[in-house]
Structure 1
Amino acid sequence: MGSSKRRPLILACVMLAMFMSAVEATIVSTAMPSIVADLGGFSLFSWIFSTYLLMQVVTIPIYGKLSDMFGRKIVFATGVSFFLIGSVMCGFAPSIEWLIASRVIQGIGAGAVQPIATTIVGDIYTKEERAKIQGYLASVWGISAVMGPVLGGLILQFAHWQWVFWINIPIGIISVTGIIFFLKEKVKKEKKQIDYAGTGYLLVGITALMLVFIQSGTAWAWASPQTGGLLGVFVFSLLMFIRQEKRAKDPVMTLSIWNDRLIATANVASLTLGAVLIGVSSYLPTYVQIVLGESAMTAGFTLTMMSVGWPISSTLAGRLLVPLGSRKTAMLGACSLLIGATMFLLLSYVQQPLWAGAASFFIGGGMGFTTTTFIVSIQSQVDWNVRGTATASNMFMRILGSALGVAMLGGLLNNRLAGYLKEEGAGIDLPQTLDAANLLLDPVERRRFSEEELNVLSDGIAFALNSVYLGVFIMALISIGLIVSLPKKDKGSN
């Protein structure tokens, strides 16, 4: 598909779309303290990420299936359009609740951007070429990593945080226009069926599980009827989803691909890697600004280091994948993950932004080696007619891991902070709620606190975030164990 003359143009459009997605992640994370200071709602902090990720989780397998049925072009264009609509709505958000609702729309579109873009690359390049092209795709993260914090800092200094969302619009329009004009597809005309029931079970089940992680221990007890009921809904929905996918003529997720050991192992490893990724990207800027007392620009650059390590390792993985094989290449990522996760675990003892940036770099290195290895290997295991589904399944598991990770880690953050404020802040005039952190993020309100009150709030957030990094370390260890269990040999098909 696509002549050799069109391929560079198609690749450029794909890279633009991925740049849009990557810049969004970097700028929003950097701008979150300013957004929360303006709109309030620190207790809903994790929902800004989790609702976005939830809709990505649900829509990724749908987009993957639809791209196999109707072609990549129309699905890609539809997804980017939703993403841009959501971006406009986010910029106009007058409250934290509006922003969360707008992120839902944005997430519906985001579910198409990365998996379909990656699938398009898998269609127009051979296996040997894909390994190298993945390095180019990964370089997008490096470029956005450098530009993201700079753009975010400039926006926060000279304009309003609204522009961190509106900056997506021209990029998305150029990308979609290019794909429509340059990508030529030959899609077989046949009767199509969409698995609406499977989609519904997936949405209900994942939503229930995320509510458990976010609300249990704060809004209600872990042993409460609400937690038990939601867990029951999750288990029931999961069983019904599996049953539906086995009997559906065109299932939203083709379960047969999970019979392949490499695909199954890579997908489960992507689940835990997603939790590691979100644990770093969501909370590191807040840690650097509140606990270390650094500027938003410094916080952005500590997060940037992850996106610098990612393309470097991804480019190396592209060169090493064919001679070394999937398992050995992924093992390099496992080593980098272990170093980064350990450094984050020690962040409470070495409270320096350079240390945080170095830890972020090694996490990025681990992500680059593993994600590139997984995608190229999975695409080489299957034929064209299921390549979109197979690629989406891996993206699905990684985003699912991020969605569940931000919910679980957000719940842990809220729980630990609430406990600390209740115990340590009881004797001083300090609001005994999670939203007390809003006041710390607001420069005007911050000046109203005494030194003792500021110390209690800062120490409480540090205590809670250190617990988050312990969770990140555990997820990294599980990921490493799965990488070690990858099969030693894999297919070499195109």
Structure 2
Amino acid sequence: MTVEVRKGLVVLAVCAGMLLAALDATVVGTAMPTVVASLGGLSLYAWVFSIYMLGATTSMPLFGKLSDLYGRRRLFLAAIGIFTAGSTLCGAAASMPQLVGARAVQGLGAGGIFALAQAIFGDLFSPEERGRMQGYLASVWGLSSIVGPLLGGLIVDTFGWRWTFLVNVPVGACAAAVIHRGLTGALARGSRRPLDIPGAFALTGAVLALLLAALRLGETGTLVTPGTLVPLALFGILSGTLLHLERRAPEPVLPLRLFENRAFSVSILAATLSGVGMFGAISFLPLFVQGVLGGSATLAGSVLTPMSLGWSSGSTLGGRLVNRMGYRALGLAGMSLMAAAYLRLAHLTAGSGLAGIIGTVFVLGLGMGFVTVTTVVAVQNAVRREDLGIATTAPFFFRNIGATVGVAVMGAILTGRLGAGPAGALLRFEPSLALQAFEPLRGPLASALSAAFGVGLATAVLGLGASALLPSTSPTRGARAPASAPPGP
């Protein structure tokens, strides 16, 4: 087997692994009403999604660092194994608590797949090629967002809801077999240095505490509750502990020296801010379409399809433009598109047309695609090879943190604006039914959502400032940090 054929097979297997994890998010959403009808446990409905996100976010940096130490192949195989094991447990779940626990296992594996797919492409391809390849990976996300709901419905109607999880097992096994055969050399070995175990525990605990506080904030709309304050206090304690440990660890799980590199630190800031904007729209636009415009649940969900198309298109196009425009110009272009889209979203009213919303969310997705490629490629080309795993993971890790905190803040604003009156009480149950019964509620909901979208606009404007600090160089003009030297400024 030639080197090029082996590389092509590895790319195919990595994309298959990404498709598994990406499809899972959209397929499961379609299947969940049937799952609840079968297992009961409606009170745990949201946790089927939240626990998956918590697992994926916390495992990302750990898989990235472990792959630097013990090799991409071993860790990618472990991630696929954990994900498929979780899928098997989900398919066999006999109750909703069992399903939630199995989804946590799935999330841990998914975080590893997301992280290592990017890192493997960073290893396989030159700095000039990385942008194009990141665009291909983003296209996998776009495909899953479009195909997932339809595929999920087809599987549920034809084979039953359990097969929405069990179908992952044979695909995961095939991807693992190709990765085992195709990834060789340094990608298989790693550096074999010892892992910073205390730092890993402190990082995991801090992230879980922050995400749990954010989820609770989104539910209650206020910080002044034990469910929010206790995890926030724990986050502060564990974050301080993490900083103390990482300064002294011989092989830190999150090397603080990376943040001394301007390209790295600014890219992380831009990625975090973009996560707030992108996932805020994903979370609250369907509510606007259904609750304010009176659209069906199907229409409310389908309004996100243009955003997925824009994200996929922006990533593919951005992967080609980054070599010509450079990091700063492409990052500014992406954040400008996101800011323009949120300026429109922040002024939506009950009289807004659906066609205008569709165009707006496509622009938002296009900008997000530009920013994603910019941040990932800038980070990959700024660090030493032995840090490539943890560095490549960082933009996605912090983007998820930004998304969770941002959505929580938007949810708190929404809850606060609606208040404890009839609008807030009714809309906590079923927005479409409430608004059919009380037509005047459309106005208050539109106003509250407009205020929530203002958070997205503010973060996009801040993102413009962050993007202006990115290096003006491109992958073809900027040199990669050498393997034996610390990252440059």
Question: Is the structural similarity TM-score above 0.5?
Answer: yes
Report the 3-state secondary structure (helix = DSSP H, G, I; strand = E; otherwise coil) of the residue aligned with 2:381.
helix
Asked if residue 111 in structure 1 is aligned to residue 111 in structure 2, the reply is: yes
Matched with 2:336 is: 335
Residue 324 and residue 70 in structure 1: after superposition, are their counterparts in 2 closer, same or farther (change >3 A)? Answer: same
Matched with 2:422 is: 424
Q: Give, in angstroms, the shift of residue 328 of structure 1.
A: 0.7
Matched with 2:170 is: 170
Q: Aligned partners of 2:76, 2:145: CA distance in 1, in Å?
A: 24
Unaligned runs of 5+ in 1: 427-431
Deviations 1:293-332 (A, max 9, x none): 4445434432121221122222222222122211111122
Residue 345 and residue 433 in structure 1: after superposition, are their counterparts in 2 closer, same or farther (change >3 A)? Answer: closer
Q: Aligned partners of 2:178, 2:361: CA distance in 1, in Å?
A: 34
Residue 371 and residue 280 in structure 1: after superposition, are their counterparts in 2 closer, same or farther (change >3 A)? Answer: same
Q: Aligned partners of 1:463, 1:169: CA distance in 2, in Å?
A: 46
Matched with 1:436 is: 429
Q: Give, in angstroms, the shift of residue 467 of structure 1.
A: 4.5
Q: Give, in angstroms, the shift of residue 246 of structure 1.
A: 1.2
Q: Judge conservation of contact 1:54–1:403 (CA < 8 Å) in 2.
A: no
Q: Give, in angstroms, the shift of residue 170 of structure 1.
A: 3.4
The alignment's TM-score, normalised by the length of structure 1, stands at 0.84
Matched with 2:264 is: 263
Asked if residue 474 in structure 1 is aligned to residue 458 in structure 2, the reply is: yes
Q: Aligned partners of 1:213, 1:219: CA distance in 2, in Å?
A: 10
2:480 maps to amino acid: S
Residue 336 and residue 220 in structure 1: after superposition, are their counterparts in 2 closer, same or farther (change >3 A)? Answer: closer
Q: Judge conservation of contact 2:56–2:111 (CA < 8 Å) in 1.
A: yes
Deviations 1:386-419 (A, max 9, x none): 11121112222112222333444445555556x2
Q: Judge conservation of contact 2:29–2:149 (CA < 8 Å) in 1.
A: no
Q: Give, in angstroms, the shift of residue 51 of structure 1.
A: 2.8
* Larger RCO (alpha carbons 8 Å, 6+ apart): 1
Matched with 1:124 is: 124
Deviations 1:151-209 (A, max 9, x none): 24545666655554444333322222211122213355765322221122223222332
Asked if residue 183 in structure 1 is aligned to residue 183 in structure 2, the reply is: yes
Deviations 1:408-453 (A, max 9, x none): 4445555556x2xx31269xxxxx587633xx68xxxx6xx89526
Q: Give, in angstroms, the shift of residue 68 of structure 1.
A: 0.8
Q: Aligned partners of 1:211, 1:319: CA distance in 2, in Å?
A: 38
1:257 maps to amino acid: L
2:457 maps to amino acid: F
Matched with 1:345 is: 346
Matched with 1:102 is: 102
Q: Judge conservation of contact 1:198–1:245 (CA < 8 Å) in 2.
A: yes
Q: Judge conservation of contact 2:435–2:442 (CA < 8 Å) in 1.
A: no
Q: Aligned partners of 1:30, 1:480: CA distance in 2, in Å?
A: 36
Residue 178 and residue 347 in structure 1: after superposition, are their counterparts in 2 closer, same or farther (change >3 A)? Answer: farther
Deviations 1:262-294 (A, max 9, x none): 110001111121222222233444544454444
Q: Aligned partners of 1:209, 1:243: CA distance in 2, in Å?
A: 19
Q: Give, in angstroms, the shift of residue 53 of structure 1.
A: 2.4
Matched with 1:240 is: 241
Matched with 1:193 is: 194
Cα RMSD after superposing both structures: 3.4
Matched with 2:480 is: 493
Unaligned runs of 5+ in 2: 482-489
Q: Judge conservation of contact 2:278–2:403 (CA < 8 Å) in 1.
A: yes
1:195 maps to amino acid: D
Asked if residue 452 in structure 1 is aligned to residue 437 in structure 2, the reply is: yes
Q: Aligned partners of 1:290, 1:158: CA distance in 2, in Å?
A: 32
Matched with 2:487 is: none
Q: Judge conservation of contact 1:149–1:300 (CA < 8 Å) in 2.
A: no
Q: Judge conservation of contact 2:206–2:239 (CA < 8 Å) in 1.
A: yes
Report the 3-state secondary structure (helix = DSSP H, G, I; strand = E; otherwise coil) of the residue aligned with 2:5.
coil
| Aligned with 2:468 (options 477, 481, 484) | 484
Residue 406 and residue 202 in structure 1: after superposition, are their counterparts in 2 closer, same or farther (change >3 A)? Answer: farther
Matched with 1:429 is: none
Q: Aligned partners of 2:243, 2:20: CA distance in 1, in Å?
A: 34
Report the 3-state secondary structure (helix = DSSP H, G, I; strand = E; otherwise coil) of the residue aligned with 1:6.
helix
Q: Give, in angstroms, the shift of residue 21 of structure 1.
A: 2.4
Identity of aligned residues (%): 34
Deviations 1:325-369 (A, max 9, x none): 111111221122122222322333454443333232122111111
The alignment's TM-score, normalised by the length of structure 2, stands at 0.85
Residue 395 and residue 222 in structure 1: after superposition, are their counterparts in 2 closer, same or farther (change >3 A)? Answer: closer
Residue 47 and residue 275 in structure 1: after superposition, are their counterparts in 2 closer, same or farther (change >3 A)? Answer: farther
Residue 95 and residue 351 in structure 1: after superposition, are their counterparts in 2 closer, same or farther (change >3 A)? Answer: farther
Matched with 1:210 is: 211
Deviations 1:97-155 (A, max 9, x none): 54443332121111111220111111111111222222222222332233223324545
Deviations 1:247-276 (A, max 9, x none): 112211111111110110001111121222
Q: Give, in angstroms, the shift of residue 241 of structure 1.
A: 0.7
Q: Judge conservation of contact 2:217–2:408 (CA < 8 Å) in 1.
A: no
Q: Aligned partners of 1:44, 1:464: CA distance in 2, in Å?
A: 26
Q: Aligned partners of 2:153, 2:234: CA distance in 1, in Å?
A: 43
Q: Give, in angstroms, the shift of residue 226 of structure 1.
A: 5.5
Q: Aligned partners of 1:177, 1:342: CA distance in 2, in Å?
A: 48
Report the 3-state secondary structure (helix = DSSP H, G, I; strand = E; otherwise coil) of the residue aligned with 2:242.
helix
Q: Aligned partners of 2:93, 2:448: CA distance in 1, in Å?
A: 28
Q: Aligned partners of 1:96, 1:468: CA distance in 2, in Å?
A: 32
Q: Judge conservation of contact 1:150–1:297 (CA < 8 Å) in 2.
A: no
Deviations 1:64-117 (A, max 9, x none): 111111111111111122222333444555666544433321211111112201
1:423 maps to amino acid: G
Residue 338 and residue 15 in structure 1: after superposition, are their counterparts in 2 closer, same or farther (change >3 A)? Answer: same
Residue 234 and residue 146 in structure 1: after superposition, are their counterparts in 2 closer, same or farther (change >3 A)? Answer: closer
Q: Judge conservation of contact 1:413–1:465 (CA < 8 Å) in 2.
A: yes
